[in-house]
Amino acid sequence: MAKKMWAGRFEKATDKAVNDYNSSLPFDCRMYKQDIEGSVAHSAMLAKQGIISQEDADKIREGLLSIMADIESGKLTFDSDAEDIHMFIEEELTERIGDAGKRLHTGRSRNDQVALDQRLYAVDEATEIMSLLGELRDALIEIAKDNLDTYMPGYTHLQRAQPITYAHYLGAYIEMFGRDLDRLEQAISRANISPLGSGALAGTTYPLDREWVADKLGMSGVTANSLDGVADRDWALDLASFASIFMMHLSRMSEEIILYASQEFKFYELDDAYSTGSSMMPQKKNPDVAELTRGKTGRVYGDLMSLLVTMKGLPLTYNKDMQEVQEAIFDVIDTLKGALVPFIGMIKTMTIRKDNMEKAALGGFTNATDLADYLVRKGIPFRSTHEISGKLVHYCIANNTTLEKLSLEQFKQFSDLIEEDVYDAISLKTCVEKRLVTGGPSSKAMTDYLNSL
Ligand code: ARG
């Protein structure tokens, strides 16, 4: 085993089992790029401040960039007994450029270094997630624009309630994903702050220019307290909280995709490329993407819980427990990216069966409220009209028919105030188009809404 950089005060080498247990290289190696970018910025600042020579800073920069190139080409692999990616890169650098490599860590601790790398990594990945989430929302907006008069039932208790349009239905998810985008943007802005200069916990005696490094790394500022700088993992909790709420939305939508693609509903037909078959039952076409998304939601909640529990009892400042934060947040990132790509493809390719949606909207007495409202306009109090409409529904069920198919004579048996204009009042189109209120399903309200986005 290679000699540890901190071996000075030790008499014995680390036990192999301890080294394996301690090492985060197998998972933190994914942050090699951020580690190198952070180190390049830090060393450039050390030279600018006269803490190391420009010559050493140049050597460090070249050495680090050659390491990055070799990792990317596959020439340099992570099969070492290094403790983590930070040690791995520094050891490799010193091997390549000699003593100058040993000057890189001046005025820096691994505690502020890991905090920086993880924030940079999280910001990069979260930005990618933000663009995928935007793509999903834009796809829904486009589909909504094409379905302003696609009627379907709206549900409460999963019972047909009142008619809406498919555009209006999608509008609910467009809103949810809009709030998710806000949450993600806030999480990114809180993560994008540099802790470098916090040192191990108490800052440093070197005259570092922290703001300059932050600026060079595209970060918006520096942390204000060195203890908090190394002990804070709130940015990971912010990201996992956003992710949990977002996955809850995606899971609700998945549940509806699963239902709507069933033979019982037949509102959706999933594209062949986005569904799977059964090894035994030849007729099956399964909504695996939606089911997996629903399933993986639990996994993201688990990551959030794991982060909360890992952090809750930790005294200030850095504790090794915090190494565990990485796998949880990496899993959040991987799960979201993994779900979003196929989910977007599924949404963009599935066929909407407008005929079946409309049939369902016509079938479940979804216009019974509008019939009651019609009678209110004739001067009867709503509580009474509710009862008359309910009795008419009961009559229709007993006679296996629907409200709009009743004759005027049949209507009049329940209220002689009902006239010929009832048919227009309870038509699907009227039920939807009369709901002009902001946030409602009418094509006017929905067009205004979609134009406001
Ligand atoms: N691999 C460690 C981590 O990610 C590095 C921090 C080590 N710091 C220390 N004081 N031992 O948490």
pLDDT in tens, 74-115: 999 997 789 999 999 999 999 999 999 999 999 999 999 999
> 3-state DSSP helix/strand/coil percent for the chain, to nearest 5?
65, 5, 30
Q: Is 168 a catalytic residue?
A: no
Contact yes or no for 151/360 (Cβ under 8 A): no
Q: What angle do CA 25, 27, 30 make, to 5 degrees?
A: 95
Taking the CA of residue 118 as reference, the ligand 1 atom at the shortest distance is: 4
Q: Tell me the best of 14, 108, 110 to mutate to test the pocket of ligand 1, counting ligand atoms within 8 Å of each CB and taking the most.
A: 110
Cβ(322) – ligand 1 distance below 6 Å: yes
Q: Tell me the best of 6, 112, 323, 324 to mutate to test the pocket of ligand 1, counting ligand atoms within 8 Å of each CB and taking the most.
A: 323
One pLDDT digit (tens) per residue for the chain, 453 residues:
677 778 788 888 889 899 999 999 999 999 999 999 999 999 999 999 999 999 999 999 999 999 999 999 999 999 778 999 999 999 999 999 999 999 999 999 999 999 999 999 999 999 999 999 999 999 999 999 999 999 999 999 999 999 999 999 999 999 999 999 999 999 999 999 999 999 999 999 999 999 999 999 999 999 999 999 999 999 999 999 999 999 999 999 999 999 999 999 999 999 999 998 877 777 878 999 999 999 999 999 999 999 999 999 999 999 999 999 999 999 999 999 999 999 999 999 999 999 999 999 998 899 999 999 999 999 999 999 999 999 999 999 999 999 999 999 999 999 999 999 999 999 999 999 999 999 999 999 999 999 999
Give me the phi and psi of 165, to 5 degrees please: -115, 165
Contact yes or no for 101/60 (Cβ under 8 A): yes
Cβ(85) – ligand 1 distance below 6 Å: no
Judged by phi (left if over 0) then psi (alpha if -120 to 50, else beta), residue 51 lies in: alpha
Cβ(223) – ligand 1 distance below 6 Å: no
Q: What is the pLDDT of residue 80?
A: 79
Measured CA to CA, the distance from residue 205 to residue 142 in angstroms comes to 57
Cβ(323) – ligand 1 distance below 6 Å: yes
289 CB contacts (<8 Å, ≥6 apart)? Answer: 274, 275, 342, 343, 345, 346
Q: What is the pLDDT of residue 285?
A: 86
- 3-state SS, residue 352: strand
Tell me, in angstroms, the distance from the centre of ligand 1 to residue 79's CA: 19
Considering 53, 220, 278, 384, which one is annotated as catalytic?
278
Examine residue 366 and say whether the peptide bond preceding it is cis (omega within 30 degrees of 0): no
- 10 Å CB burial of residue 194 (0-12, 13-18, 19+) is buried
Tell me, in angstroms, the distance from the centre of ligand 1 to residue 114's CA: 7
- 3-state SS, residue 415: coil
Measured by CA distance, the residue closest to atom 2 of ligand 1 is 323
Angle between helical axes of 32-48 and 54-73 (0-180°, round to 10) = 170
Q: How many of the other CB atoms lie within 10 Å of CB of 263?
A: 7
- In total, the chain counts a number of residues equal to 453
Q: How many of the other CB atoms lie within 10 Å of CB of 57?
A: 22
Alpha-carbon torsion, ordered 71, 73, 75, 78, to 10 deg: 30
Tell me, in angstroms, the distance from the centre of ligand 1 to residue 229's CA: 14
User: Taking the alpha carbons of 239, 210, 8, 57 in that order, is the dihedral positive or negative?
Assistant: positive
Cβ(367) – ligand 1 distance below 6 Å: no
Taking the CA of residue 326 as reference, the ligand 1 atom at the shortest distance is: 4
- Determine the residue type at 308: L
Cβ(24) – ligand 1 distance below 6 Å: yes
Tell me, in angstroms, the distance from the centre of ligand 1 to residue 60's CA: 22
Q: What is the pLDDT of residue 282?
A: 78
Which helix (H) or strand (E) segment holds residue 17: the answer is helix 16-22
Contact yes or no for 300/236 (Cβ under 8 A): no
Contact yes or no for 222/119 (Cβ under 8 A): no
Measured CA to CA, the distance from residue 31 to residue 76 in angstroms comes to 15
Cα of first residue to Cα of last residue in the chain, in angstroms, is 59
Q: Is 53 a catalytic residue?
A: no
Q: What is the pLDDT of residue 338?
A: 98
Taking the CA of residue 318 as reference, the ligand 1 atom at the shortest distance is: 10
Q: What is the pLDDT of residue 79?
A: 78
**β-pairing verdict for 151-156 and 268-269:** unpaired
Which helix (H) or strand (E) segment holds residue 446: the answer is helix 443-452
Taking the CA of residue 24 as reference, the ligand 1 atom at the shortest distance is: 1
Measured CA to CA, the distance from residue 448 to residue 171 in angstroms comes to 12
Tell me, in angstroms, the distance from the centre of ligand 1 to residue 110's CA: 6
